[in-house]
Structure 1
Amino acid sequence: MTGQLPLDLRLSPRYGEEDFLENACNAQALALVRLWPNWPRNMLLLSGPKGSGKSHLGAIWAARAQARIFQAGAMDAASPPALGAEQALLLEDAEQAPEKELFHLINLFTETGGALMLTAARPPDFWGVRTPDLLSRLRRMPQAEIAAPDENFVAAILIKLFDDRQIRVEETTIAYLAARIERSLAACAQLVEALDREALAQGRPVTRAFAGAVLRANPRFGCGEDDSD
């Protein structure tokens, strides 16, 4: 597909609570986030695949708790004492943290009573943790898992993403896309960006036929369903 090269005007994600789409796949996790500060313990481990909404839920909690947000992959030996002094902390991608530092950090928050939320792609039993005491502490943390979205939720996500870009798309086009793409928030975001860029390049609206052409040209977005209808 060819045409004029558009400017790369990527939109920053909106992480307000009013922007979060609730569905059966994330309802439990959202309820636990909203339960704060009345958590049975001051900790929560939230897991879900990439693009499932973990960062959005984390941002909602961080705004409520006035928590610092920190990437686990950036942790080093000096991190636990500094982060442990926070009254509330959101540690993103916790499975990427060095085990010794993560163990120390959890112990610090247990001692101080500070609020700690961890996000990860999968539950801790799948991290390959080699420190038994760390795995034990992770298993004891209250946990919530975000499941893969169903087709109706994918359609709602697509509508929101198109609205964010002020792109008008017919319901039939939304239904066509929702039935054919991978069921993940990440795939939805990437597809909408690709459609937006190609529509700008060609000066065309996002119709069902146009969307089908983009899908056929980008099989990475598909989930393997027949595209013959």
Structure 2
Amino acid sequence: MSEISIAMPQDPPRQLPLDLPVDTRLEAEDFLVGPANTHAYAMIESWPAWPDTLLRLIGPEGSGKTHLASIWAQRAGASVVSIADVTTDKVEALAAQNALVIEDADQMPRDEHALFHLLNVMRRKNASSGASMLITARTKPEEWGLVTPDLLSRLRLSPSVAIDAPDDALLRAVLVKLFVDRQLLVDTSVVEALGRRMERSLAAAGALVEMLDREALSHSRRITRVFALSMLDRWEEEQHSQKDTEQG
């Protein structure tokens, strides 16, 4: 008896996604203003007429703090450093700046003594030369776990402005910007479908668009509404699984 060989269909080959740089634009004209960030944007725009040397900018991850800080840094000629860069041996050099941005001040590692000393120096400079500081953080100073009472008091007394969760219109606008930044062409139905179903978080929008870009390239397919929603389901499952693991 002769054997019959049947060719079985194979899965289409997957492409290896390339880790190419994303053209994330942080100019003033690229910042999307909505009810969630109108007050914060107005405060940045009002500089140098700030009520104090220091302004705290508070908002969740991916809310646009870095973008706003970048806008202010360009206008004020400010240097931008992370909280980890604020150390005792660098205070003198940092204080030489007339404008300074300190990002993620609520994160660790953090040298509280150096930060307090820097705040005092910049406050003295403000009286003579109008020095200004912008500090970004996800939460209020009371939640940072500070152990230096004078530092906590100084931060609490400084003016602050918050960025809230985005409304539907802002979330959709940000999704469009994220797709454009990655040079991805998608139908408006994709943005509408994602905007209706996903959580109201700009950080989630960024992570989801990154996943869609990677998976679409890997599978050599367009980002359709059906594909986008299937990836959203997968992303949400991964997030729930990660939370369960962290809580377990």
TM-score, structure 2 as length reference:
0.84
The alpha-carbon deviation at position 175 of structure 1 amounts to: 1.4
**Structure 1 residues 22-171: aligned runs within 5 Å:** 22-96=33-107, 97-113=110-126, 114-171=131-188
Query: Counterparts of 1:101 and 1:95 in 2: how far apart (Å)?
Result: 14
The list of structure 1 runs, each at least 4 consecutive aligned residues, that deviate by more than 6 angstroms after superposition, is: none
Instruction: Pick one of 196, 201, 205 that aligns with 2:222.
Output: 205
Query: Counterparts of 2:214 and 2:235 in 1: how far apart (Å)?
Result: 13
| Alignment CA distance shift 1:220-1:84 (3 Å) | farther
| Alignment CA distance shift 1:94-1:222 (3 Å) | closer
* Ranges in structure 1 where 5+ consecutive residues have no aligned partner: 224-229
| CA contact 2:95–2:122 (8 Å) conserved in 1 | yes
The alpha-carbon deviation at position 151 of structure 1 amounts to: 2.2
Query: Counterparts of 2:60 and 2:229 in 1: how far apart (Å)?
Result: 26
Percent of pairs with identical residues:
45
| CA contact 2:87–2:115 (8 Å) conserved in 1 | no
Query: Counterparts of 1:95 and 1:84 in 2: how far apart (Å)?
Result: 20
* Cα RMSD for the two superposed structures: 1.8
TM-score, structure 1 as length reference:
0.91
| CA contact 1:47–1:122 (8 Å) conserved in 2 | yes
1:217 aligns with 234
| CA contact 1:44–1:118 (8 Å) conserved in 2 | yes
Query: Counterparts of 2:237 and 2:52 in 1: how far apart (Å)?
Result: 41
Stretch moving more, 99-108 or 168-177: 168-177
| Aligned residue pair count | 223
| CA contact 1:45–1:117 (8 Å) conserved in 2 | yes
The alpha-carbon deviation at position 12 of structure 1 amounts to: 4.1
| CA contact 2:23–2:181 (8 Å) conserved in 1 | no
Instruction: Pick one of 6, 12, 19 that aligns with 1:8.
Output: 19
SS at match of 1:148: coil
| CA contact 1:182–1:222 (8 Å) conserved in 2 | no
* Ranges in structure 2 where 5+ consecutive residues have no aligned partner: 1-10, 241-248
Q: Tell me which structure has the larger Cα radius of gyration.
A: 2
1:19 aligns with 30
Query: Counterparts of 1:29 and 1:206 in 2: how far apart (Å)?
Result: 34
Query: Counterparts of 2:239 and 2:93 in 1: how far apart (Å)?
Result: 44
Query: Counterparts of 1:160 and 1:21 in 2: how far apart (Å)?
Result: 9
